Structure 1
Amino acid sequence: MTQKLKNILKSKPFRKRFNKNNFFKKSCIKKNGKIMSLIIKNALIHSKNKTSINSVFISNGKIKKIIKANSTEKIKADKILDAKNKLLLPGGIDSHVHFREPGMEFKGNWKSESRAAAAGGITTVIDMPNNIPSTTTAKNLDKKRKIAGKNSLVNFGFHFGAEKGKLNEINKAKNFAGIKVFMGSSTGNMLLEEEKELEKVFKIAKKKNKIAVLHAEDEKIIKQNTENAKQKNWNNIKYHNKIRSTKAEVEAIKKALKIRKKVGNKIHFLHVSTKKGLQEIINAKKKGKGKISCEVCPHHLFLNEKDLKKLKNFGKMNPPLRTKKDNDFLWKNLLNGKIDFVSTDHAPHLKKEKQKKFFDAPSGVTGTETVYPLLLDQAGKKKMKMQRLTEVLCEKPAEIYGIKNKGKIQKGFDADLVLVDLNKKWIIKNSLIHSKCNWTPFNGIKLQGKIASTIIDGKIVFNKGKFNNKFRGKEIEFQKT
């Protein structure tokens, strides 16, 4: 260490800036204008179905080298983090979140929800467009990216919304993941259900080489079922699965596939929830030439309609919780690769909102903080291979959305990583949730495997329950897919 750097470390402005969180001092320092280097030693790294103890050398936010345990090579770094035989995995990519800002900051904001993501091992998020105002103009997208850049603790990107009367705005927007289409009504006013409008969006998506990302529920079926439910006074969460029925999902999927076949664009089905709906997608994939993909959410894997007796409206989301048979079919096809990846549809609402009567309570649950631990527990129980876990939460979202150099522990990739204590047994509790709403539908579930540290851009952002609040994530760049 040079004398000049020593003087900087001892200076009053420096000590004043970093005295609140001494652990993160070195991970924030720049040396000669460059980000300081880091070595993570004694880390268990899983590769090609094998796990071995290695070290990782990081500099300027990139993985520069993976050093085998028996190597005699000596590399110096400005900081050393001893993993103590914890498992080192790629940072998770949650490509489906609703961080609520701008417009609904009382539910959540970029600061609160990105902290939840970091605590859960998620290092990159892609935010949905149904804000207030909605992200359906290039101007609104630029405003949102400024808010995220100022407040997000994790890396971030955005989906752009398709709104009737504003479809020309898609051509003006820059650097976004996919074009979000609400075929069924949800939070916000972005419904787009007519075939001619959907065809217009699909043609724009094809021209821009972007994916149309679809909330596939048929609005006409939902409206008719809602009218019937109100006539019968079905003001109870147990009827949600009948209102937003399996048929509503299946018919919307069929409609989207029919239009896609005509146009030839890429489409991605969000939060697939039913056996019948997924089967339609699987059948179409066989002839889709790699242009059809889909995801599943943790609540549709781990919860079903039987949990609603306990959850009540805290289990209300769109599409709804389904049956155990649906759970099983989704799991089977997640493990065999027919479902491409997992995202959370993280959508916080306050407890007092959820405590309203069923028809008045909003739909949406949290998930970004708990998805990695839930899947780690499955891997620990040998119900899911570790390789498949990193594919569905890290590699595949990066691949499908064209996120360069993320999702793998590999030389040249971004140093977005998580350290996991595989032996740590714990219980998910509402009181532990960092999301502003402070609750989770997975409250009370016992797990083994906990996120110990989260590293983003080579900097320790979360460690042993503490955050590096000085750090800010970066906007990711989307490549052509």
Structure 2
Amino acid sequence: MIIQGTLVSSSGTFKSQIRVDGNFIVDVGTNLGQADITFSDDCLIFAGMGDIHIHARDDVSESQTYKEDFCTAGAAAINGGVVHVADMPNNPVPPITDESYLEKARHLEKRNPPIHFTLYAGIGPGTRPLTFAVPYKAYMGPSVGDLFFKTLEQLDETLSHYRGCNVSFHCEDPILLEEHADAATHEAKRPTECEISATRFALQMIEKYDLKGKLCHYSVGEGLPLIREARSRGVKVTCEVTPHHLYFDQSDLTDENRGKMQMNPPLRTISDRQAMLAALREGTLDYLATDHAPHTLEENEQGISGQPHLDTFGAFVTWLILDQKFTPEQAALFCSENPGDFVNPYISPKKFGKIEPGYTASLTVLNLKQPVTIKREDLKTKCGWSPFEGITFPGSVEAVFIEGRQVR
């Protein structure tokens, strides 16, 4: 199969063709032959976009699959132009040992979702590294079950066993969270100093134990200089940012929408949101990662934190490009190439992130001239709602290819 159109990478945008054989790209060039599929000049073809921070709610217990499972998360991902995801480990049965991780992997294989899932392993009090290479997630503050630390000293002791590993951090200081637990609002219970304190500590741990570190769902402008300074000294740290911390801020909160607008970390100030946009533009933030956290609307009204974002990923990217004036090349970096670089060490022979021979033939095609209004009836996530309902994005997902097959 030959696909033709405007291809985008971090190094440029150009008209070309892609030859696909089976699951892989075998050639890219301008004279490969008669195209089987041609996309118009309104469209941009990206290496398949990846979301490296989602919560599919699926594990061997199946106790939370009423709000999402691997298959419905996969369908929502395709709806949003996402071809691979990385699923977090804060499950009722957390994957923290070889046995529990492989049990979750077998459960995933049995589900047979329509896209590729990379699984994080959890780090909790007293855990130890698995005997094979995986990405890890450490929760500094309370999460599902017992997979979190009550003190930073406890986290330090545990991380001493993970030297050299790939560890992602949820940066909220557990001691400061406890000190603010009785505050009047969710935002006041999880103030900026919780994230800033945890950022300092995470950067110390990444440097101390030579970790390949990642800071999840970053939201505080005041913490960005800490990250830049650490990088200048060679600390190996990358950072995520979510759609909600780029699009919404505390000025959007009302008494009516507080339940749906609650997440951890919470919405920040207008200046914090603007700082996240600027940091994504100049490269301090490396990944657009949704923290897709599906709950029922009833659960959100009861104060459970999290928003679903897989269905709207691609449409949101068109908002970044057309309304916020990000270049397509920038979007290719934080939506395709960097997520591919993150998962590729764990998924051979698959290889995501670039439109080059040898890479998996998974592609995301965005139409920059076809706006879309987000409607509940068009969503694929099992939880059945989106914080973007009623919002019109300036472009939309035109097509999705998964391992050589067009699925949308």
Report the TM-score, using the length of structure 1 for normalisation.
0.78
Task: Give 1:278's match in structure 2, choosing from 221, 224, 243.
Answer: 224
Partner of residue 133, structure 1: 93
1:189 corresponds to 2:159: no
| Alpha-carbon separation, structure 2, partners of 1:157 and 1:333 | 26
Counterpart for residue 311 of structure 2: 369
* The one of 330, 345, 352 aligned to 1:388: 330
* Residue matched to 1:53: 15
1:118 aligns with 2:63: no
Question: Which residue of structure 1 lines up, in the alignment, with residue 359 of structure 2?
Answer: 413
Q: Retained in 2: the 8 A contact 1:187–1:363? A: no
Task: Tell me which of 382, 391, 394 is aligned to 1:436.
Answer: 382
- Residue 44 of structure 1 aligns with which residue? 6
The offset of 1:193, in angstroms, is 4.0
* Runs of 5+ unmatched residues, structure 1: 1-37, 464-481
CA distance in structure 1 between the aligned counterparts of 2:343 and 2:165, rounded to whole angstroms: 8
Q: How far 1:342 sits from its partner (Å)?
A: 1.4
1:329 maps to 275
How far apart, CA to CA, are the structure 1 residues paired with 2:309 and 2:276?
18
- Higher Cα Rg: structure 1 or 2? 1
Q: Take 1:311 and 1:282, find their aligned partners in 2: how far apart are those partners?
A: 35
Distance in 2 of aligned mates of 1:407 and 1:263: 28
Give the aligned partner of residue 469 of structure 1. Answer: none
Secondary structure at the aligned position of 2:325 is classed as: coil
Q: Which segment drifts farther, 104-113 or 363-372?
A: 363-372
Aligned partner letter, 1:83: F
1:267 — aligned with what? 213
- Pick from 140, 159, 180 the counterpart of residue 202 of structure 1: 159
Contact kept in structure 2, 1:428 and 1:442, CA below 8 Å: yes
What secondary structure sits across from 2:400 in the alignment? strand
Paired with 2:91 and 2:82, the residues of 1 have a C-alpha distance of 22
Deviation at 1:163, TM superposition (A): 1.9
Task: List per-residue Cα deviations over 1:171-191 (Å, max 9, x = no partner).
Answer: 33x342x22111011233211
Which of 95, 98, 109 is residue 52 of structure 2 equivalent to? 95
Query: What runs of 5+ residues in structure 2 fail to find an aligned partner?
Result: none
Alignment match, 2:103? 143
Report SS of the residue matched to 1:204: coil
Distance apart, 1:423 and its partner CA? 0.9
Corresponding letter in the other structure for 2:33: K
Find the aligned partners of 1:455 and 1:143 in 2 and give their Cα distance. Answer: 29
2:320 corresponds in structure 1 to: 378
Q: Does 1:247 align with 2:210?
A: no
1:458 partnered with 2:404: yes
Q: Secondary structure of the residue that 2:77 maps to in structure 1?
A: helix
1:156 and 2:98 matched: no
Residue 221 in structure 1 maps to residue 176 in structure 2? yes
The 8 Å contact of residues 202 and 260 in structure 1, kept in 2 or not, is answered as no
Cα deviation code 1:42-84 (max 9, x no counterpart): x22135665443321100211111231xx3x5379xxx33334
Tell me if the contact between 1:311 and 1:441 (Cα under 8 Å) persists in the aligned partners: no
Superposition deviation, residue 349 in structure 1: 0.1
Q: Quote how far apart the aligned CAs of 1:249 are.
A: 0.8
Equivalent residues of 2:89, 2:121 under 8 A apart: yes
Determine helix, strand or coil for the equivalent of 1:314.
coil
Alignment partners' CA distance in 1, 2:267 and 2:341 = 28
- SS of aligned partner of 1:352: helix
Give the conservation status (yes or no) of the 8 Å contact 1:44–1:53.
yes
One-letter identity of the residue aligned with 2:120: H
The question of 1:74 aligning with 2:20 is answered: no
| Partner Cα separation in structure 1 for residue 10 and residue 286 of structure 2 | 19
Asked whether the 8 Å contact 2:149–2:174 carries over to 1, the reply is no
SS at match of 2:206: helix
What residue is the counterpart of 1:299 in the other structure? 244
Relative distance call for 1:132 and 1:382 in structure 2 (3 A) is closer
CA distance in 2 between partners of 1:159 and 1:83 (Å): 36
Q: Which residue type is aligned with residue 156 of structure 2?
A: E
TM-score, scaled to structure 2: 0.92
CA contact (8 A) 1:128 1:160 kept: yes
Report the residue type matching 1:213 in the other structure: S
Distance 2:236 2:9 in 1: 28
Q: Is the 8 A contact 2:219 2:268 kept in 1?
A: yes
User: How has the CA–CA distance of structure 1 residues 75 and 443 changed in structure 2, closer, same or farther, with 3 Å as cutoff?
Assistant: closer
Relative to 1, partners in 2 of residues 1:456 and 1:201: Cα closer, same or farther, differing over 3 Å?
Answer: farther
Equivalent of residue 171 in structure 1, options 104, 121, 130: 130
Moved more, 133-142 or 196-205: 196-205
- Say whether 1:343 aligns with 2:289: yes
| Counterpart-to-counterpart distance in 2, 1:318 and 1:421 | 32
2:373 maps to what in 1?
427
User: What fraction of aligned residue pairs are identical, expressed as a percent?
Assistant: 27
Per the alignment, in what secondary structure is the counterpart of residue 371 of structure 2? strand
SS across alignment from 2:51: strand
- Partner Cα separation in structure 1 for residue 257 and residue 373 of structure 2: 17
- Kept in 1, the 8 Å contact 2:12–2:329? The answer is no
